[in-house]
């Protein structure tokens, strides 16, 4: 397992940009136009956290991150990019993932109890439109 005191490098240009694991519970925002690398940045962060034993919860509505359990392929573009960034030890790797699914069809069913939900969230669920309500109520 990687050293938890070292920065988790998430970008590399002229210099490296990383997150110190002990500061990672602060607020953060990844912003940018479509195609600028927001999803990949998020995935790299999740992989790094997984690598140091920190569980990550991600709400991934579009399934952009669902390939996390599988190591990436040997695409020439990836090899070229790794070489350009000087990642001499780079090798594709998969990470342990548990899928949750509100429908309970393609993953672990999402369940809770009325008492754990609490009055505030329960009242918000009951105010949702009628299509979503049956999915979210227990
Ligand atoms: N650091 C990077 N180096 C090389 N290619 C990248 C990098 N980050 C993203 N990409 C590529 O750019 C494209 C868009 O990235 P993505 O993370 O999906 O963008 P966004 O979520 O901001 O729309 C993808 O094809 C991805 O492979
Ligand atoms: Mg994206």
pLDDT in tens, 98-117: 999 888 888 898 888 888 88
* Cα dist from 102 to 41, 110, 111, 114, 115, whole Å: 26, 5, 8, 16, 19
Same domain as 86, residue 22: yes
**pTM for this model (two decimals):** 0.79
* Span from the CA of 117 to the centroid of ligand 1 (angstroms): 37
Q: Is the CB of 37 under 6 A from ligand 1?
A: yes
Task: State the pLDDT at residue 13.
Answer: 79
Q: Do 81 and 47 share a domain, yes or no?
A: yes
For residues 120 and 63, state if they share a domain.
Answer: no
Count of domains forming the chain: 2
Query: Which tokens in the block code for residue 71?
Result: 């190591």
Tens-place pLDDT, residues 21-64: 999 999 999 999 999 999 999 999 999 999 999 999 998 888 89
Q: Is 36 in the pocket of ligand 1 (CB under 6 A)?
A: yes
Does the CB atom of residue 13 touch ligand 1 within 6 A?
no
Residues 93, 26, single domain; the answer is yes
The CA-atom distances, in angstroms, between 81 and each of 4, 75, 87 are 26, 10, 9
82: confidence class by pLDDT, cuts 50, 70, 90:
confident
Identify which of 10, 12, 35 to mutate to test ligand 1's pocket (most ligand atoms within 8 A of the CB): 35
What domain range is 114 assigned to?
A: 99-138
Please, what is the average pLDDT of the chain?
Answer: 86
* Per-residue pLDDT at 133: 56
The whole-number pLDDT of residue 138 equals: 44
For residues 128 and 78, the model is more confident at 78
Q: What is the mean pLDDT of residues 115-138?
A: 71
């Amino acid at each position: 397992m990687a050293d938890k005191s070292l920065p988790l490098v998430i970008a590399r240009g002229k210099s490296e940009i990383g997150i110190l694991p002990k500061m990672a519970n602060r607020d953060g925002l990844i912003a940018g136009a479509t195609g600028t690398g927001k999803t990949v940045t998020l995935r790299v962060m999740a992989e790094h956290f997984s690598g140091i034993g920190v569980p990550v919860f991600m709400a991934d509505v579009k399934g952009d991150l669902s390939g996390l359990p599988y190591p990436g392929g040997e695409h020439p573009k990836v090899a070229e990019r790794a070489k350009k960034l000087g990642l001499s030890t780079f090798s594709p790797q998969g990470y342990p993932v548990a899928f949750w699914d509100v429908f309970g069809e393609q993953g672990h069913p999402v369940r809770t109890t009325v008492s754990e939900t609490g009055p505030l969230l329960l009242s918000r669920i009951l105010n949702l439109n009628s299509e979503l309500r049956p999915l979210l109520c227990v």
